Chains A and B, each alone.
Chain A
Amino acid sequence: MTVFALVDCNNFYVSCERVFNPGLENKPVIVLSNNDGCAVARSNEVKALGVTLGAPVFKEQALIKKHGIQVFSSNYALYGDMSNRVMRVLSDFAPNLEVYSIDESFLDLTDVRKNDLTDFGVEIKTKVKKHTGLPVSVGIAKTKTLAKIAAGIAKKSKKTGGVLDLCNPTHLDRALEITNIDSVWGVGRRFAKFLKVYGIKNALLLRDCDTEFIRKKMGINGVRLVEELRGNSCYPLDSSPMQKKNITVSRTFGRVIRNLEELAEAITAYATRGAEKLRRNGLVADSISVFIMTNRFDKENFYYNTEIIRLPASSNNSSEIIAAAIQGLRKIYKPDCLYKKAGLFFRELKPESMVQQILFDTVDREKNQRLMASLDTVNDIMGRDTLKYASAGLSGKKQWKTAFSHRSPAYTTKWDQLPKVT
């Protein structure tokens, strides 16, 4: 019998800010996206005020002033460091751990002998809070999908004290019943829409669905999903119901860009970042699409265009992707436009292992792979962009880089920005 725990940090970005600025505790706090555009993290107090995730900040200025909502830019250096600390503490609790995202981790508790899993969950929660200052919720169950459901409930329900064990069937049915079909891990928007048509609106109804019906309508992934809900583990650590369907890298510019060279610099940087993401996830793309657009609020002069480029072969190679992206950019670039945003979608993603060598491929793929591996290793050790492509721009400050005007200090990564004590 398998046992998994999902440990999920509560309001992660906001909580990180609160560790070093305790005056923010119990106060409404928002953390903004890149370019300070919209709210990507909200404290519970802000959620209660009705500010939605992704709400554009300029729209909420009235609320912000009225309730004294504290606003911060994303401080990725801080969040990344705090995430590493949490994961390090968690690694003490189980021999195997999967870092699922910046603030979530799956633990395989199958070989961990514990009499009371709830107590164990409380131990985990307590230790993470003490060592890092971050509050987490813990969900424990027989499968990853159920553990995710348990953690979701533990997070919202004060009664659970932040820890919920669903291995015991007592509360399982009720937990599944209150879990909306949209929130089930592995059920994307398409499936959710479809299932609701058949009246399957929560996890309990999905679990009790006829397997053959699910197989016909949702394929093998659907069956795995239902099996996971039934307590039969189909996804061990490091395996998920959905491979990322697409990867997008895009940014809104700090100031407008007019000329092709600067746009090309930006696109090269995004292509590089995206290729890194692909490699890190063991994926390749079959095609990419580039898009550029001017300020969408200037309706009169609005220009948006996009171009899809098929890669000669499935790839996650930076050079090839950069070349394709620039090729696409040239096709859609129009002079005398004030560009405000650009980006790349990486499409038709596949696991690296599935790549077939095309017959007339002129590129030495193995050599490129080794080059990419070296690139990634050097950048890993010495910092992002230590090695980069010349087309990404060699001049010092890049004007199109995003704005972070409300960023808190790099409390844990810069000597001159340490928290102060009196």
Chain B
Amino acid sequence: MADIKAIYKPEESDKCERPLFMIPVSAGFPSPADDYVEGSLDLNKHLIKHPAATFFVRVAGDSMLNAGIHPDDILIVDRSLDAVDKKVIIAIVNGELTVKRIRIKKDGIYLVAENENYNPIKINKEMEFEVWGVVTSVIHAL
């Protein structure tokens, strides 16, 4: 008796979506585009890979200016991603949310700003430090 490889759940919705062809069907010469069906570009799908784990935060301050992150920008933050070296992350430091670039070096973890006016923060045992999420995109209104 063969093993069951997989069990699929039937699609239970009573809607059946069908793509709409963009060129009206008519007699005569077919358009070369006939075989190509276009949907629109979905910004949500493009920018948000893990919806349940994605949050938006608002930037206050200029500590990350040189990374293209300005005050009032919106950051797209994905909590499901890992905070690997050089990623821009949202971190919790002593109870506050902060945006910095994480550097994981041999001698410890640093939170580095992208602005000469700010010094890097070395994480030590006395600090309350936790990764909140990884920044994937910046939304900057011009």
**Once the chains bind, are B53 and A22 in contact (CB under 8 Å)?**
no
Instruction: For residue B142, give the distance in angstroms from its CB to the closest CB of chain A.
Output: 17
Taking CB as reference atom, which chain B residue is nearest A25? B95
**Once the chains bind, are B55 and A421 in contact (CB under 8 Å)?**
no
Spot the interface stretch: A130-138, A210-218, A338-346.
A130-138
Spot the interface stretch: A47-55, A306-314, A375-383, A412-420.
A412-420
Identify B52's interface contact among A24, A88, A418, CB under 8 A: A88
Which of A24, A86, A419 is the most central at the interface, judged by chain B CB atoms within 10 Å of its CB?
A419
A84 and B52 CA atoms in complex are apart in Å by 8
Instruction: For residue B17, give the distance in angstroms from its CB to the closest CB of chain A.
Output: 17
B102 touches A (CB below 8 Å): no
Restricting to B1-56, which residues have a CB under 8 Å from any CB of A?
7, 9, 50-53, 55-56
Q: B residues within 8 A CB of A20? A: 97
Q: B residues within 8 A CB of A411? A: 55
Instruction: For residue B111, give the distance in angstroms from its CB to the closest CB of chain A.
Output: 12
**Once the chains bind, are B130 and A421 in contact (CB under 8 Å)?**
no
Q: Provided the pairs A22-B96, A25-B95, A421-B98 are in contact, do residues A130 and B79 lie with their beta carbons within 8 angstroms? A: yes
Count, A-B residue pairs, CB within 8 A: 71
Chain A interface size range: 20 to 34
B112 touches A (CB below 8 Å): no
Q: A residues within 8 A CB of B96? A: 22-23, 422
Q: Provided the pairs A130-B79, A131-B79 are in contact, do residues A421 and B97 lie with their beta carbons within 8 angstroms? A: yes
Q: A residues within 8 A CB of B80? A: 130-131
Interface size on B, residues (CB 8 A): 28
**Once the chains bind, are B130 and A22 in contact (CB under 8 Å)?**
yes
Restricting to A1-45, which residues have a CB under 8 Å from any CB of B?
20, 22-25
**Once the chains bind, are A132 and B61 in contact (CB under 8 Å)?**
no
Taking CB as reference atom, which chain A residue is nearest B71? A422
Q: B residues within 8 A CB of A133? A: 79, 132
Q: A residues within 8 A CB of B128? A: 25
A86 and B74 CA atoms in complex are apart in Å by 23
Q: Mark A120-150, 1 if CB is under 8 A from B, else 0.
A: 0000000000111100000000000000000
Q: B residues within 8 A CB of A85? A: 51-53
Q: Provided the pairs A418-B58, A420-B97, A421-B97 are in contact, do residues A131 and B50 lie with their beta carbons within 8 angstroms? A: yes
